[in-house]
Amino acid sequence: MTHLLPLLFYIAAFILWVRCLIGGSRGRGPLVAGILTAMGVVAHGAALLRFWLHYGELPLVGFGAALSSLAFVGALALTVMLPFREMSRVAIALLPFIIVVQAVAVLLGVEPTPLVLDFEGAGFVLHVSLAFLGYQGLALAFAAGVLYLIQHHELKEKRLGRFFHFIPPLATLDRLARIGIWAGFACLTLALAFGWAWTVENRGSLEMGDPKVVWAVLSWFVFLGVLGARFGGGRNDYRGALAAVIGFGVVICTYLVLRLTVGGEGLFL
Amino acid sequence: MSLAVVGVSHHTAPVEVRERMVFGPSEAANALVTLRQEAEVEEAVLLSTCNRTEVYLFPNRDDRPIRSWETLLQRKAGQLDRRLSDYLFERRGDRVIRHLFQVSAGLDSMVTGEAEIQGQVRDAYERATTLPVDPPMAGPVLNRLFQMALSVGGQVRSETAIGEGRASVASVAVELARKIFGSLGGKRVVILGAGQTGELIVQALSREGVKGVMVVNRTYERAVELARQVHGHAMEMDRLAEALRSADIVLSSTAAPHPVLTRPVFEDAFPRGIHRPLLVIDIALPRDVAPDLGDESEVFLYNVDDLRKIVDEQVQLREGSVPEADRIIRAQSDEFRAWYASLEVVPVIRRMRGRANEVRHAELERLLRGMDHLTEGDRVRVEEFSRRLVNKLLHDPTVRLRKGMDRGGGADLVDAVRFLYGLEEGELPPLDGDG
């Protein structure tokens, strides 16, 4: 129930952002949407803290708990952008991802796994936390990329309508996407390094066929691909935005395919 | 009439007349002082812009302030081809409130929703507030009226689309540049040709902080001349490709009979294609820029028709918001009227209670005169009884009167109380009265 409250806040904030888009972002709509998002983050943080205090473990293991933490990282990143009027509008593209992740977490139940596991230690916590940050970095680049492509289309079509007025300038979106990609890439690289070190130390060797490992390594290559598209052969903002959108799609699709075909322990993947 | 506004505006006078009646800041201050001295005006605010010169007066006793203002205007304008009264407009009472709110919201402007008027109203109000005269020119009524007008202007702009979009080619160009580059600080502009609209756009872009303006013209001397005006550098036409390489914005307005910025010139400037946004604004007729350059993913090409179409759409969008803006103005006008009426309720209550106490004292005196046997303690108790009785009898009417005013009962309620309790007229002149 405690994890449902932030979800409701995020949904309300998203509805308000959509209203701002349709009705013109006038009045206090964006401010109220920002406040709702921030309230969602506070409620979400409190719910995760409660989980930690109640079960005596961080909400990193167990499918629902891990997803809720992933959603929290994204919402937290969004909250950091809220004071910046133009950047905050990326919420309209980022919130749906956060909402879906949190909704799945709520549906599955945010509880610790009943299995007796040895996932502990600073290395493990760093591995999971950094991986969450990495994926949210890609999600941010995706959200900024989607808005970039829409704004680019509006400008090319010479339509100064609702989208044109609502969506931030191309330069702002490009800067956000760059931050997302570089920060995400750095975090995921470190996450893979910590994960490898932790596995070797605790399990002896890394099982390359493990769907989690397959997905994580593939995601890392996706980051490389997006960076290559953005900077290869001279900087190209449009190509960078397109690559971020495709890259995020590839990561999500791969995840779903692995989940539906190979499956896993159901702990993280 | 107590509250009045008189003046000229773009609705009533052509520019040749209006320009002769524009009051600079110090002239406006002097005019207000003259009004105070000549017509004993209590409150006045003078708003003077290129589209209007009008004075708000309160109270307008016997039309003396209006006559004094007309004399001032006539003196300022000098000899006109027609009588001054032919160009004047006048609003009184409630219509003044609505007029000022419409002006502040940009509904009465030449370009609906223009934002500058809000600042001009603020300047006029501040001038009247800070003028070193006693009592201040913006007294309690005009003070409140102008504060509300500024608030209404802000509310209309934030809650409706009245100020959305741009309503001139230059401002659309700036808006497009902002949506591509975000901040325009440090961006570089290449001007091709030296047309007047081009100059206006460059001025608008310069205000946004663009740097490094390069003027490329067929006649080098003309390029130098324009470059001096816009603080830029002049270049000869054969260096166009070089200029393009560092440009973020290209503004073209030559009188050339054929395209100047062609595909070969573009490929010369960007042999490996362009990988960063380039805004190209072509306001020349015939067009200066080859249309196929707009097919480049990073080139945002707008010609004069595109810009004109955008301006028309923006103006339509603004005008569609007028009913919504009117609704806000109506509600705020009602609020001002209710506030004004509430000013009257305090003296009415004071007089009502005073009258009741006069009766109480008189009756008490008559009663006690024939009751000498009462002890001092009994007399005090009787007096206390009379005081409590009057207070209790007046408590409900007082509370209900205040509530009624808050609900917008207005002047009718005050008049009813005056009639029922036989009170004299109020101290404040009615908005629509004769002052």
Do B190 and B284 reside in the same domain of the chain? yes
Of residues B230 and B84, the one with the higher pLDDT is B84
Q: Which of B165, B180, B275 sits opposite A234 (nearest CB)?
A: B275
Residues of B in contact with A235 (CB under 8 A): 275-276
Question: Which chain A residue has the Cα nearest residue B274?
Answer: A236
Please choose, from the candidates A112, A96, A139, the residue with its C-alpha nearest in 3D space to the C-alpha of residue A255: A139
**Is pLDDT at B116 greater than 70 in this prediction?**
yes
Which domain-ending residue is among B136, B164, B192? Answer: B164
ipTM over 0.90: no
B425: pLDDT strictly greater than 80? no
At A248-259, the pLDDT tens digits run: 999 988 888 877
Assess whether pLDDT exceeds 70 at residue A158.
yes
Same domain as B378, residue B338: yes
* Chain A interface, best mutation among B179, B301, B304, B321, by max A CB count within 10 A: B179
The residue of chain B with its CA nearest to that of A22 is B161
B146 and B266, same structural domain?
Answer: no
Return the HEC string of chain B.
CCCEEEEEECCCCCHHHHHHHCCCHHHHHHHHHHHHHHHCCCEEEEEECCCEEEEEEECCHHHHHHHHHHHHHHHHHCCCCCCHHHCCEEEECHHHHHHHHHHHHCCCCCCCCCCHHHHHHHHHHHHHHHCCCCCCCCCHHHHHHHHHHHHHHHHHHHHCCCCCCCCCHHHHHHHHHHHHHCCCCCCEEEEECCCHHHHHHHHHHHHCCCEEEEEEECCHHHHHHHHHHCCCEEEEHHHHHHHHHCCCEEEECCCCCCCCECHHHHHHHCCCCCCCCEEEEECCCCCCECHHHHHCCCEEEEEHHHHHHHHHHHHHHHHCCHHHHHHHHHHHHHHHHHHHHHHHHHHHHHHHHHHHHHHHHHHHHHHHHCCCCCCHHHHHHHHHHHHHHHHHHHHHHHHHHHHHHHCCCHHHHHHHHHHHHCCCCCCCCCCCCCC
Residues in A touching B272 (Cβ below 8 Å): 234
Q: A36 CA to chain B: closest CA distance, Å?
A: 20
Show Cβ contacts of residue B293 under 8 Å, excluding neighbours closer than 6 positions. B261, B263, B266, B280, B299, B301
Q: What is the pLDDT of residues A164-180, one digit of tens each?
A: 888 999 999 999 999 99
Question: What's the structural domain count of chain B?
Answer: 3
Q: In chain A, whose CA is at the least distance from the CA of B308?
A: A158
Q: Is B312 in the A-facing interface, judged by CB distances under 8 Å?
A: no
Does B104 reside within a domain?
Answer: yes
My answer on whether B207 and B151 are in the same domain is no
Question: Which of B180, B276, B294 lies closest to A169 in CB terms?
Answer: B180
User: Is the preceding peptide bond at B135 cis, omega within 30 degrees of 0?
Assistant: yes
DSSP β-bridge partners for residue A243: none
- Residue B48: inside a domain: yes
Among the candidates B164, B181, B205, a domain finishes at B164
Q: Which residues of A touch B277 (CB under 8 A)?
A: 170-171, 237
Strand partners, B217: B236
Q: What is the pLDDT of residues B129-174, one digit of tens each?
A: 999 888 889 988 999 999 999 999 999 988 888 877 666 777 888 8
pLDDT in tens, B286-321: 889 999 999 998 999 998 888 888 888 878 878 888
How near does any CA of chain B get to the CA of A179, in Å?
Answer: 16
Asked if residue B56 belongs to a domain, the reply is yes
State the Cα–Cα distance between residues B233 and B235, nearest whole angstrom: 7
For residue A86, give the nearest of A12, A34, A22 by alpha carbon.
A34
Asked if B344 and B184 touch (Cβ cutoff 8 Å), the reply is no
Contact B176 A165 (CB under 8 A): no
pTM value > 0.90? no
Show which residues of B are catalytic. Answer: 50
Assign residue B185 the CATH number of its domain: 3.40.50.720
Gap from A138 CA to chain B (nearest CA, Å): 22
Q: For B161, which residue in chain A has the nearest alpha carbon? A: A24
pLDDT score for A189: 93
Residue range A207-263, pLDDT digits in tens: 777 777 888 889 999 999 999 888 876 667 888 999 999 999 999 888 888 777 765
Distance, CA of B71 to CA of B63 (rounded, Å): 13
Range of the domain at B203: 169-309
Q: What is the mean pLDDT of residues B102-129?
A: 90
Residue A26 near residue A115 (C-beta atoms within 8 A):
no
Task: Determine, yes or no, domain membership for B321.
Answer: no
* CB-based contact, B292 to chain A, within 8 Å: no
Residues B361 and B217 in one domain: no
Q: Which of A26, A86, A238 sits opposite B158 (nearest CB)?
A: A26
Residues B298 and B340 reside in one and the same domain: no
Distance from A29 to chain B by nearest Cα, in Å? 10
Sheet order of strands, B4-9 included:
B43-48, B52-58, B4-9, B89-92
* Whether residue B175 is found in the same domain as residue B305: yes
Same domain, B45 and B192: no
> Are B136 and B191 members of one domain?
no
Examine residue B205 and state whether it is found in any structural domain, yes or no.
Answer: yes
Residue A162: its pLDDT value, please? 83
The nearest alpha carbon in chain A to B296 belongs to A156
pLDDT in tens, A128-146: 889 989 999 999 999 999 9
pLDDT-derived band of residue B63, with 50, 70 and 90 as boundaries?
A: confident
- The pLDDT > 90 percentage for chain A reads 45
Q: Are the C-beta atoms of B431 and B59 separated by less than 8 Å?
A: no
pLDDT of residue B434: 47
Residue B322 maps to a domain: no
Q: Is residue B189 part of a domain?
A: yes
The token duo for A95 is 């919130």
User: In terms of domains, do B158 and B21 share one?
Assistant: yes
Probe site for chain A from B171, B275, B295, B301 (most A CB atoms < 10 A): B275
pLDDT at B427: 55
* Domain-embedded: residue B415: yes
Residues B348 and B301 reside in one and the same domain: no
Q: How far apart are CA B265 and CA B242, in angstroms?
A: 10
Distance (Å) from the alpha carbon of B54 to chain A's nearest alpha carbon: 31
Specify the CATH number for the domain of residue B13: 3.30.460.30
Residue B1 confidence (pLDDT): 42
Rg (C-alpha) for chain A, rounded Å, is 19
Picking from B133, B164, B195, the residue at the C-terminal end of a domain is B164
Asked if residue B120 lies in contact with residue B49, where contact means CB atoms within 8 angstroms, the answer is: yes
Percent of chain B with pLDDT strictly greater than 90: 40
Residue B160 shares a structural domain with residue B176: no
